[in-house]
Amino acid sequence: MAYTIKALAELVGISTRTLRYYDQINLLKPATTNDANYRLYDHKQVQRLHEIMTYRSLSFTLEEIKQLLKKPPTERDNDLKQQLEKLEQQQNKLTLTIKAVQQQLAINQGVDKMTDQEQFEIFKQQKIAANEAQFGAEIRTKYSKEEIDQTNRQYANLTAAQFHDMQVTENNLISLLKQATTQHNVTTEQAQTIYQLHRHWLSYTWPTYSAEAHRGLVELYLADQRFANYYDQQAGNGATQILHNSIVQFTQN
């Protein structure tokens, strides 16, 4: 079936002006033109337009979409799968946030009384969702979905005492890193303690430990400024580098 520019615009809910502009920038060309020089679009163009609109809904620019559409279909599918994962992570976080707000309103209005344990369980789920939304895509470049799911399950199953111990371990690590950033050199003893504290902190969420995975994690810390900021903002500039160097030093074969 062939569509005129007006018919296609009405079908998908965009303006004819937009379609003309897409033609002008070679983003969506009509299949042909009729004797009256009217643009005509067929099923192939409808499919391409749908793909363009999908990318637009993901906030890609028109120039970015042009480059994406030049990729082979398998590569475009992989890109969309990554976008879908990000959206699902955001959806999970939003769902948990909505639930938390609803429950807090119920508590404030005296409709619901939540135990400390129930509040603790919600808090852990919110932390998992927030971590997924902020770092999920990057973490998945280093670890498999199964490994990440195991880590999240282990975190979700932490008792209040374990969670407290995990926080104490991290606070001790931050304090030592803060001290190390003020020194000219980090001693071997300090580096070893930094390594041990970070490894112990990971043990609360990692089902199994490997030196290779530990090194891979701190390489990610350096590669992504958001991870680096987590430690540098708490312990001072250079804290992430010190953490990285200490762990590499004590995880070498």
pLDDT over threshold 80, residue 240: yes
pLDDT in the model for residue 253 = 63
pLDDT in tens, 50-100: 999 999 999 899 999 999 999 999 999 999 998 898 888 778 778 877 877
Cα(157)–Cα(135) distance, integer angstroms: 21
- DSSP secondary-structure letter at 37? -
The token pair at 133 is 């939304």
pLDDT in tens, 32-53: 988 888 899 999 999 999 999 9
Q: Which amino acid is located at 208 in the chain?
A: T
- Kind plus residue range of the DSSP H or E element containing 68: helix 62-68
- DSSP secondary-structure letter at 224? S
